[in-house]
Structure 1
Amino acid sequence: MRNLFDLSGKTAVVTGAAGGIGAELAKAFAAQGADIALLDLKLDKLRAQASEIESLGCKALSLKCDVTQEDEIKAAVATIIEHWGKIDILVNNAGVASAGSVETLEEREWDRVIDTNQKSIFLMSKHVVMSMKARGYGRIINMASICGMIGSKSFPLLAYNASKGAVLSMTKGMAASLAPYGITVNAIGPSLFRTEMTEASLYQDSFIQFYNEQCPIGRPGNPDELNGAAIYFASDASSYTTGQTLFVDGGWTSV
């Protein structure tokens, strides 16, 4: 029987790949046989991730890229296509968060979060899709969040809520327009996962206790627990699935 999750011969692009969830997903795709282009601002960390991927027998390309800047994205995409001739999979993972409610959030923080979490998906997808349409094949995975579905009473995250809510709608809009070209577009909606970003802001005893009490599974997620959802959306197993968001949240959005 054919392995529907096999990614051998595929080329994947992962943004925000220097660490955390992006690095985990890149290695998970490589374990299934994909070659990986890693995009981030932290080139030294990208090179370390690339070495791990190459140890799995796959090829890796490290590219410094600010995914809020269209010129840098165009250059990175051109480099990848020149290097490998195609892009099969795009993971729009780059993201930031900023605490603040509607009356306390500063405009520059609003812009930073919206540009990184929302505009970058538009810009990355815009330039990758051109290549995918020409070949009649593509898989796009957007990183959403439970915060796109629910508010944050105890820890206001207005800009993050807004940006991730937009990701849910963008995923549906892109899926509908790109389906005729053989391109699927889906999203993953994590709850709290341990990453460099969340450790700096949320991993405090009081918040973790609150989270564990509210989450049906009773704990935060581990980064590798997103791999299954990502591999599914990246592979032929999901060939008839598009416009969907899979919440990997320990049951948070079920209560």
Structure 2
Amino acid sequence: MRDDVFWGYNKQRILDRLRLDDKVAYVTGGGQGIGRAFAHALGEAGAKVAVVDLVLAKAEAVAHELNLKGIKSIALAADVSKPEDVQRIVDTIVARWGTVDIACNNAGINMNSASEDTSLEEWDKTFNVNLRGLFLCCQAAGRIMLNQGYGKIINTASMASLIVPHPQKQLAYNASKAGVVKLTQTLGTEWIDRGVKVNCISPGIVDTPLIHSPELQPLVQRWLADIPAARLARVTDLQAAVVYLASEASDYMTGHNLVIEGGQSLW
């Protein structure tokens, strides 16, 4: 009797289908915050992980953490806005582990300013990292994946792709993250029939050490009033999502923006 529900798809139980054993992943912006959490999650699920960060020391610290857990990892420094850096990290990973199966494009920056005061320098810097850099990573990793007929690309967007977070003013950031979603949707439709699925995760406001600075406390109280969950996101709230999107369990999902924001975009 063939019954995928009873026996499991390809005779794998659901938790087995979430495993990433023998897969090769990289995480940009992996030296801290969300990227660090993603690197740990992918590694714990069985993947080999290249931790990529602008600052090599930060990448090395996270790679060391992974090694302590018995996870195979390497640390790489790169400015994702530079095509030569992006190609170098992909080439290095392929030379080390033979391929790239999972591309977690998480690197991003946010520079707040009122729209009338936003300089062209701030606009360009934000878009160079958040959208140009993400495109370069998708393209470089995508070529490897298309050639092998399978791959998962997971981009970090933001709740700001759906709403205008307030009261902070961040025109360049909001626009760049909306671009990440549309890029994800476009690649998701172009590449799925060749085995490559492209999705993104949109976190809400994430609790980081910076959030606890005295000058931000009035903003935090305002944000909490706008969140049905009545708390900020933890990086650990995002880990299961990246494993799901990286695994074969999500093979029929592409071009999706997975929003994890405690309900904030609903009000």
Asked whether the two chains share a fold, i.e. TM above 0.5, the reply is yes
User: What TM-score do you get using the length of structure 2 for normalisation?
Assistant: 0.92
Output the CA distance in 2 between the equivalents of 1:95 and 1:64: 15
Matched AA of 1:10:
K
**More divergent stretch after superposition (242-251 vs 54-63):** 54-63
Q: Give 5+ residue unaligned stretches, structure 2.
A: 1-11
- The alpha carbon displacement at 1:65 in A equals 0.5
SS at structure 2 position matched to 1:63:
strand
Matched AA of 2:261:
D
Output the CA distance in 2 between the equivalents of 1:195 and 1:107: 28
C-alpha contact (below 8 Å) 2:20/2:46 kept by paired residues:
yes
SS at structure 2 position matched to 1:81:
helix
Matched AA of 2:254:
T
Matched AA of 1:189:
S
Output the CA distance in 2 between the equivalents of 1:166 and 1:183: 20
Q: Of 19, 33, 37, which aligns to 2:50?
A: 37
Q: Does 1:242 align with 2:236?
A: no
C-alpha contact (below 8 Å) 1:21/1:195 kept by paired residues:
no
User: What TM-score do you get using the length of structure 1 for normalisation?
Assistant: 0.96
C-alpha contact (below 8 Å) 1:28/1:227 kept by paired residues:
yes
Q: Of 60, 81, 85, which aligns to 2:98?
A: 85
- The alpha carbon displacement at 1:4 in A equals 1.4
Output the CA distance in 1 between the equivalents of 2:35 and 2:135: 18
Could you report, residue by residue, the CA deviation over 1:144-174 in whole angstroms, capped at 9, with x for unpaired residues? Answer: 1111111134211000010000011001000
Q: Does 1:112 align with 2:125?
A: yes
Instruction: Work out which of the two has the higher radius of gyration on C-alpha atoms and give 1 or 2.
Output: 2
Matched AA of 2:218:
S
SS at structure 2 position matched to 1:220:
coil
- The alpha carbon displacement at 1:87 in A equals 0.3
> How large is the RMSD of aligned CA atoms in angstroms?
1.5
Could you report, residue by residue, the CA deviation over 1:183-210 in whole angstroms, capped at 9, with x for unpaired residues? Answer: 00001001100235x5388972211111
Matches within 5 A, 1:200-219: 204-219=216-231
Q: Give 5+ residue unaligned stretches, structure 1.
A: none
Q: Of 153, 163, 180, which aligns to 2:176?
A: 163
Task: Tell me the percent identity.
Answer: 34
Matched AA of 2:104:
V
Output the CA distance in 2 between the equivalents of 1:164 and 1:128: 20
Q: Does 1:227 align with 2:239?
A: yes
Output the CA distance in 2 between the equivalents of 1:67 and 1:53: 22
- The alpha carbon displacement at 1:73 in A equals 0.9
C-alpha contact (below 8 Å) 1:202/1:208 kept by paired residues:
no
Q: Of 147, 151, 160, which aligns to 1:134?
A: 147
SS at structure 2 position matched to 1:188:
strand
- The alpha carbon displacement at 1:11 in A equals 0.5
Question: CA 1:94–1:148 in 2, change beyond 3 Å: closer, same or farther?
Answer: same
Q: Of 89, 94, 100, which aligns to 2:107?
A: 94
C-alpha contact (below 8 Å) 2:80/2:86 kept by paired residues:
yes
